[in-house]
Amino acid sequence: MSWLRRLMKQVKANARANPYMTVLFGFWAFGYTMMVPTLLGSRFLPYISERLGGAPETLFVAFAALMLNVIIFAAVVPFVLWMLVCWAMRDEK
């Protein structure tokens, strides 16, 4: 659990040191939260459901795959990039 505590401490320090980057990446993550289901949702759910046999239950699997994409592209990717940008902007004196 100490790695999580250290990560949260670093997140708090990054947010305080780089407020503009935090807002920028926060808006990016929020936008992706809306954009990924819009881009993928229209054809993604029926496509995955059809590939899995077309039964109504397969829509749950397709929805889970869509939510996994949202989590990856709207949470993980912006967070990791934000951490890397803040790390690169750190002023080591």
pLDDT tens profile 28-57: 888 888 887 777 767 888 888 899 998 988
pLDDT for 41 equals 66
Closest CA to 48 of 36, 35, 38, 61: 61
- Considering the entire predicted model, what is its pTM? 0.78
Please state the domain count of the chain.
1
At a CB cut-off of 8 Å and minimum separation 6, what does 14 contact?
A: 21, 22, 82, 83, 86, 87
Q: What pLDDT, on the 0 to 100 scale, is given for residue 15?
A: 93
Please write the tens of the pLDDT for every residue from 4-33.
999 999 999 999 999 999 999 999 888 888
Tell me the residue range of the domain where 15 lies. 2-89
